[in-house]
A and B are shown apart, each in its own frame.
Chain A
Amino acid sequence: MDNLIFKYLSNTASEEEVTILFQWVEASSENKKLFIQLKKAWVLTASSKSETDWIKIKNKLQFPEPITQLKGQKHSNKSGKNNMLSIVKPWFRYAVAASIVLLISVFLFINKEGDSSTELQEVSVTNSIIQIGTDKATLTLEDGSNIVLEEGQSYSNANVKSNGEKIIYEKIDNINDVSKIVYNYLTIPRGGQFFVVLEDGTKVWLNSESQLKYPKFFVKGETRRVELVYGEAYFDVSPSTDHEGSLFKVLTGEQEIEVLGTEFNVKAYQDEAYVYTTLVEGKVVLDNKIQKKTLEPSQQSALNKETKAVEISKVNVATEISWRDGFFSFKNKSLKEIAKVLSRWYDVEILFVEKSMENVLFKGVLSKNQDLEEILTIIKNTKFINAYEIKNNAIIIK
């Protein structure tokens, strides 16, 4: 009979079968209870694959204030297709109080209404197994053993606790012996992100494809040292004044960041030419052994890994750290750079058939909690790319 229930739930039972099922359901309260339980589970886990109707909601509600600017922008040395901007302009006025997310949805919407017939040829998907990234990490303990942390997996041991979304080291008092220091590693795979609170209370948000090395506890009075082995991390450092003046240092392969108590973002991916450090609050000193630089809030330093040259510029902090809050925020970023960010979060390879496409600049905010295909559709609908193809874990932009 259980089989019949599932058949009914999945809409594959014939009318005769449903009649039999309902008779069975009414036959006893036990039966009914089981039926109701199974249907409850079924409806709660149901989903649909509808295109997003965000615009419909948006139209019915008044949002209080502008959140982001919006613009899709063609690289300047390319002619033609400049009408993109003129298409956008009338919307601009309307959309002053909206985000690119909305604008993008509008494009999506109009295009869907217009020519859904041609869409099929422009998009081809084979064996797609692309999933949205989630909270996950591997914790490597001092004895070399690995523990997988992900949603639904909790872990606790001595002063360490994790609920699968974050890991927290509780404070240990009175450790005075430097030789007792042991290190743990937190490794975030592609398609992952994680959050850790170190033993001194410093909070670290880790982005996809990152690794942090840190002591299980800090020694009183000694400089606190952690290492961003690779990847991107946002640090909210517990102030030195709470730790008898102990400095906090973040090492990356190419530079050392010395802080007193502050918030900043470090991006040091192995496949990128620069190490970016963005200061949100407070003060940090950057040292790459050739030169020392001090950053002020809202400043970003870009260290060229090869030449060791450092360039400091003013940036929009919110854009730089939006990954931490569940968004991708791009401000005049090339499609190539955007592809890099997307490929880490969705764990895919993104390839361009025509190299010139890599240089098209985009601006906008996207939610990290949507399918990659939605984002690809959005990009496709700007008309800067003609088509895309998904094959296993690779996306080919045409």
Chain B
Amino acid sequence: MERVLSARESVFLRFKRGDEVAFKFYFDKYYNNIVGFCVQFLHDEDKAKSVAQEAFIKLWLNREKVSKKTGIPAFLYTAAKSKCLNQIRHNKVVSKYKDFKLQEKEQQLNQEVLQALNFDSMNLTELKETIDKAIQDLPERCREVFIKRRIENKKNREIAEELGVSVKAVEANMTRAIKELNIKLAHYLSVFL
């Protein structure tokens, strides 16, 4: 099976040869994910974007060292991980909590989470699919609310306005979404990672 060049492999080879359009292909594919990843640690969309952009620039400059196509997300996440760790260590992250102890605790936990991530051995695609599927399976309203919160980073009030429902209803849907995902994913994730 390995000897045959599929469309994806041919994009990868073009990328290796320095083809800008192929690079753009990977940018489109992974950029939002890398930004999303960084936001979880940096709590700031602009900072997250700039870290993600640096990761892509690093990828382009080191494209010869990437040996297979699955190495691309691994490279990007690894670069983002070390940038995020640096920012946390140098106290550049603004916390969302008022309580100083809570801030410190979160930074410390975040460092532990980042250090526990090893991108070489992980099947990112499979993981992403499992979670995407669980989100897809949520009841419609739940899913809408969840996606608006999680991916679009919207506030409950904004979501309520957009959907023309009460803030309470948004909260209820969010709680339900979290509960359902919890049931579906908790076991899978605990054995998987």
Interface status of A372 (Cβ within 8 A of chain B): no
Q: Which residue of B lies closest to A60 (CB)?
A: B57
Restricting to A309-329, which residues have a CB under 8 Å from any CB of B?
Answer: 324-327
A-chain residues with CB within 8 Å of residue B29 when the two chains form the complex: 369
In the complex, are the beta carbons of A47 and B25 less than 8 A apart?
no
Interface status of A294 (Cβ within 8 A of chain B): no
In the complex, are the beta carbons of A165 and B6 less than 8 A apart?
yes
Question: Which segment, of A2-10, A71-79, A376-384, faces chain B?
Answer: A2-10
In the complex, are the beta carbons of B193 and A54 less than 8 A apart?
no
In the complex, are the beta carbons of A3 and B150 less than 8 A apart?
no
Docked pose: A22 CA to B178 CA in angstroms: 19
In the complex, are the beta carbons of A46 and B190 less than 8 A apart?
no
The answer to whether residues A365 and B32 also contact, given A6-B178, A15-B98 and a CB cut-off of 8 A, is no
In the complex, are the beta carbons of A48 and B45 less than 8 A apart?
yes
| Min CB–CB distance A39 → chain B (angstroms) | 5
| Min CB–CB distance B115 → chain A (angstroms) | 9
| Min CB–CB distance B13 → chain A (angstroms) | 10
In the complex, are the beta carbons of A168 and B1 less than 8 A apart?
yes
Interface status of B94 (Cβ within 8 A of chain A): no
A-chain residues with CB within 8 Å of residue B32 when the two chains form the complex: 47-50
Q: Which residue of A lies closest to B150 (CB)?
A: A10
Interface status of A394 (Cβ within 8 A of chain B): no
Restricting to A1-41, which residues have a CB under 8 Å from any CB of B?
Answer: 2-3, 6-7, 10-12, 15, 18-19, 22, 25, 32, 34-41
Docked pose: A48 CA to B42 CA in angstroms: 13
Docked pose: A205 CA to B11 CA in angstroms: 14
A-chain residues with CB within 8 Å of residue B152 when the two chains form the complex: 49
In the complex, are the beta carbons of A61 and B60 less than 8 A apart?
yes
Docked pose: A300 CA to B127 CA in angstroms: 44
In the complex, are the beta carbons of A41 and B99 less than 8 A apart?
no
Total residues of chain B contacting the partner, CB 8 A: 77
Most buried by A among B125, B179, B182: B182
Docked pose: A63 CA to B63 CA in angstroms: 13
Restricting to B44-99, which residues have a CB under 8 Å from any CB of A?
Answer: 45, 48-49, 52-53, 56-57, 60-61, 77, 96-99
Docked pose: A370 CA to B27 CA in angstroms: 10
A-chain residues with CB within 8 Å of residue B52 when the two chains form the complex: 53
B-chain residues with CB within 8 Å of residue A336 when the two chains form the complex: none
B-chain residues with CB within 8 Å of residue A355 when the two chains form the complex: none
In the complex, are the beta carbons of B193 and A3 less than 8 A apart?
no
Q: Could you list which residues of chain A lie within 8 angstroms of chain B, going by C-beta atoms?
A: 2-3, 6-7, 10-12, 15, 18-19, 22, 25, 32, 34-50, 52-54, 56-57, 60-61, 63-64, 67-68, 98-99, 101, 151-152, 161, 163, 165-166, 168, 193, 195, 197, 203, 205, 324-327, 365, 367, 369-370
- Some 22 contacts from A to B, beta carbons below 8 A apart, are A10-B146, A19-B102, A22-B106, A32-B112, A36-B109, A43-B36, A43-B40, A43-B41, A44-B117, A44-B127, A45-B33, A45-B132, A46-B39, A48-B48, A49-B32, A98-B20, A195-B6, A195-B7, A324-B7, A325-B14, A326-B7, A365-B21
Q: Could you list which residues of chain B lie within 8 angstroms of chain A, going by C-beta atoms?
A: 1, 4, 6-8, 10-11, 14, 18-21, 24-25, 27-29, 31-33, 35-37, 39-41, 45, 48-49, 52-53, 56-57, 60-61, 77, 96-99, 102, 105-106, 109, 112-113, 116-117, 122, 124-129, 131-132, 146, 149-153, 156, 171, 174-175, 178-179, 181-182, 185-186, 189-190, 192-193
Q: What 14 new A-B contacts, CB under 8 Å, besides A48-B45, A53-B31, A166-B1?
A: A6-B182, A10-B178, A15-B98, A36-B113, A39-B113, A44-B127, A46-B151, A48-B36, A53-B49, A54-B28, A63-B20, A161-B1, A367-B28, A369-B25
